[in-house]
Structure 1
Amino acid sequence: MSSSGILPAPSQNTSTHFLTPIQHLIIIKLNRDNYLLWKAQIVPYLKGQHLFSFIDGSLPAPPSFLPPTSTEITQATLNPAFATWQSQDQMIFSALISSLFEMILAYMVKCTTSCEVWNTLECMFIAQSRARSMSIHYQLATLRKGDSSIADYYHRFTHLIDTLTAIDQLLPHHEALSFLLAWPRFRL
């Protein structure tokens, strides 16, 4: 790791990168209601550390043992690339589970790799994530100014847009503008 704290991009070998302490960067711990916001913190953190390929499965574990040579008959040799991969994966695993509240952590006890943790969480929360996104879109579609000031109306509107952005559901500018300026919204 360089003195600036920036990690080099991973090369073909799977050298171990030491993670920046996650508890200083991930301020929202995962509970039953905030998966999309939690994920919006975790993904850039892991991508910034060049480690997302461990959890998305694109960097699978190398073989545990080296193939036997013709001179070796009985003794299997541990693959050093596997040992390095496993060490890095367990650091990611630890970082992930340290960002979970106890009620969610209980579902991770059978997981042994960071990819298994990630996939378990995705399965647990994918339906809830879709529902949350749909709920925010509905709130945008039904948002009315009513008796509130223009500033309050605009604040509610930008909060919904910002929430969509935070959960990786960026609304194109022209669509956001359509929601904001829809004529019936300003009726009392």
Structure 2
Amino acid sequence: MAPPSPTATASTSASISSAPIPQVTLMGSHNNTQPSSSLIAINSTQVPIKLTKGGNYAAWRSQFENLFFGYGLMGYLDGTLPCPLASISTTSETAGPDSDRTNPNPAYHLWLRQDRLLLHAIQVSCMGAAQSIVTRSTTSAQAWEKLEIAYANRSNTRKLGLLDSLTNVSLEDKSVADYMQGIKTIIDNLELIGHSVDDGAVVIHTLNGLGTAYMPLASAIRARDTPISFEELYDKLLDHEAFLRRDETKKQSTPITAQFTQRTFNRRGRGQQGPHSHNTGQHQFFSHNNPHG
């Protein structure tokens, strides 16, 4: 059989490409963004910060926003990727426009499954009071909104409460790391409700909460001609804390050394006590080594 001519081949290709293709229209989405064809599960190690009573809400929210944005899942939380309708309308062009049929929408079930995975990730990252807030949520957006209402309240009362907490911070018996983390949490929560605090004010509040052991460092920082950042202040406080610990260790070891020396001296002294005087014992020692002396 002779091979088909180029003209015949081109004609065949054109007829194939122009053949009618059944069209499937997804209903229920308000934009062109559709959920991914695969599911994404959030690992607990990806969200190490657990939400407790809301004090660390800003840090907790930030980690989820970065993670969901990276996976392209923020639309589930902010409503830009709404749930598709449960059914879709299919039209067969070969049978004519009157042949519309309604079939289950696979995108609907995929969206529900993905949303439940996100809801589960949010729920397991909440503890205590925060967990009770999202327990009865049925969608990730609902849980997200409940937590925002509970912990990102923009009322003036909350703002004043946070500012009061910043004014009354105190190191007391806490470590520098815990002390500075507490201040950072207050600052983050203030920024979350739209109230930023000047770096200079943060430094002043931090220095005011330090104990007397940190007063030399606090005085030196206040006397600086250039402002100090919160991060640099953190490093200097950590260094001073390490210095204080070393100094305390030296003070504790000095009495122990002195007591050990005193006990050693007393034992030697008691060993030389007896019916003879110290000089007699010394004379006997030399006599023992030199019997002819």
1:60 aligns with 2:82: yes
Report what 1:7 is aligned to. Answer: none
SS in structure 1 at match of 2:89: coil
Compared CA separation, residues 132 and 172, structure 1 to 2 (3 A): closer
Question: Residue 26 of structure 1 aligns with which residue?
Answer: 47
Which of 48, 53, 71 matches 1:49? 71
Taking the TM superposition and a 5 Å limit, the aligned residue runs for 1:47-126 are: 47-67=69-89, 69=91, 70-72=98-100, 76-101=102-127, 103-126=129-152
Q: Deviations over 1:43-101 (max 9, x none)?
A: 2222222211211112111111113653256xx41112222222221111111111112
Alpha-carbon offset, residue 19 of structure 1: 3.2
Q: Shift of residue 166 of structure 1? A: 4.2
The one-letter amino acid paired with 2:77 is: I
Q: 1:131 to 1:108 in 2, by over 3 A?
A: same
Q: How does 1:159-170 map to 2 (within 5 A)?
A: 159=181, 162-164=184-186, 166-167=188-189, 169=191
Determine which structure has more spread, i.e. the larger CA radius of gyration: 2
Look up the SS of the partner of 1:61 in the other structure.
Answer: coil
Distance 2:68 2:62 in 1: 11
Contact 2:165 2:186 in 1 (8 A): no
In the superposition, the TM-score normalised over structure 1's length comes to 0.63
In structure 2, the residue corresponding to 1:67 is in which secondary structure?
strand
> Structure 2-normalised TM-score?
0.44
Residue 200 of structure 2: aligned partner? 177
* Distance 1:53-1:176 versus aligned 2 partners, 3 A rule: same
Secondary structure (helix, strand or coil) at the match of 1:120 reads: helix
Question: Cα 1:112–1:181, aligned 2, differ >3 Å: closer, same or farther?
Answer: closer
The Cα offsets for residues 138-166 of structure 1, whole Å up to 9 and x where unpaired, read as 4555779xxxxxxx8xx96x656633564
Which is richer in helix? Answer: 2
Say what the alpha-carbon RMSD is for the aligned residues.
Answer: 4.2
CA–CA distance in 2 between the matches of 1:50 and 1:90?
A: 16
Runs (5+) with no aligned partner, structure 1:
1-10, 145-151
1:26 counterpart letter in structure 2:
V
Per-residue deviation, 1:179: 5.2
How many residues align? The count is 167
In structure 1, give the amino acid aligned to 2:78: D
- Contact (CA 8 Å) 1:136, 1:160: kept in 2 or not? no
Gap runs ≥5 in structure 2: 1-31, 92-97, 171-175, 209-217, 220-293
Distance 1:47-1:165 versus aligned 2 partners, 3 A rule: farther
CA shift for structure 1 position 104: 3.4
Higher strand share: 2
Q: Which whole-Å CA distance do the structure 2 matches of 1:125 and 1:178 have between them? A: 24
**Structure 1 140/106 Cα, relative in aligned 2: closer, same or farther at 3 Å?**
closer
